[in-house]
Structure 1
């Protein structure tokens, strides 16, 4: 029943870009995985995401961070990645009075050589949950179509669905 009020989000994740689809509304969004942080009264506050963050580069007090950029793993800085994913999901599916927290299908697309370790899968799962998703499913394989996502069909021959 709650699924009727939860947006279904499909997010493809690389170290440089987040690409998302709100399956119910059809809204598509792509942003660089850059977060602009400003220090105010000793506290680090996120002020912009993606292209808007890149436009703030060089301004006093602004620091650009990427929580997904690491040579061996897709998840480099959990707290920065969490805030980035949270802001991205809000742009893709703004919360309303009637909406529940989104269901997230997270599709990592880099650093998959040899498959995801249990630690990596758990880290990505926890990242989605802490960013505000009600339910998180990790998909490793080919890109899914909107029809497959709408029907919640994950083809066995096209990849694997991981639930830590």
Structure 2
């Protein structure tokens, strides 16, 4: 019953791009996983995420960071990645009095050689929960279709669903 009041976000994650689809609308999206910061009293203040952060590049006193850009793992900086995802999820899953937090299906797209470690699975799961997801499903394999996303049934033999 709660699913009738909730949205689902399918996020395909790479070091340089987050894309996917928001359900039930079927609206596609794609943005760089960037965060614009300004340091005040030694603490980072978040100014923008995604394309909005990209537009602030080069402005004095603004640092652009990517919490997902590391040569060995998609989680380079947990705090920055969580802030980025939280802002993007907030834009994609509008809040209202009757809407529950979204279900987030995270689909890492790279750095998957040998599968995910338990540390990576747990980190990605916690990242999504911290970004506001009510429920997290972590998938590697082929891209999921709209029908699979709507039904919640992932294809057997076409990938792996990971659990923390």
Question: What range describes the TM-score normalised by the shorter chain of this pair?
Answer: over 0.9
Structure 1 stretches lacking a partner, 5+ long: none
Provide the residue aligned with 1:132 in structure 2. 132
1:42, CA displacement in angstroms? 4.1
Structure 2 residue 94 is the aligned partner of structure 1 residue 94: yes
Q: Which residues of 2 match residues 132-151 of structure 1 at below 5 A?
A: 132-151=132-151
Structure 2 residue 57 is the aligned partner of structure 1 residue 57: yes
Provide the residue aligned with 2:4 in structure 1. 4
Structure 2 residue 104 is the aligned partner of structure 1 residue 79: no
Deviations 1:60-117 (Å, cap 9, x if unpaired)? 2110000000000010100000011111111211111211100111000110000001
CA RMSD after TM alignment: 1.0
Q: Which residues of 2 match residues 34-73 of structure 1 at below 5 A?
A: 34-73=34-73
Structure 2 stretches lacking a partner, 5+ long: none
> TM-score, normalised on structure 1?
0.96
Secondary structure at the counterpart of residue 161 of structure 1: strand
1:40, CA displacement in angstroms? 3.2
1:38, CA displacement in angstroms? 1.3
1:49, CA displacement in angstroms? 1.2
Deviations 1:109-133 (Å, cap 9, x if unpaired)? 1100000011101100010001110
Deviations 1:21-53 (Å, cap 9, x if unpaired)? 112111211000111011235431111112211
Secondary structure at the counterpart of residue 7 of structure 1: strand
Instruction: Tell me how far apart the structure 2 counterparts of residues 74 and 42 of structure 1 sit (CA, whole Å).
Output: 26
Provide the residue aligned with 1:13 in structure 2. 13
1:160, CA displacement in angstroms? 1.1
Instruction: Tell me how far apart the structure 2 counterparts of residues 58 and 103 of structure 1 sit (CA, whole Å).
Output: 35
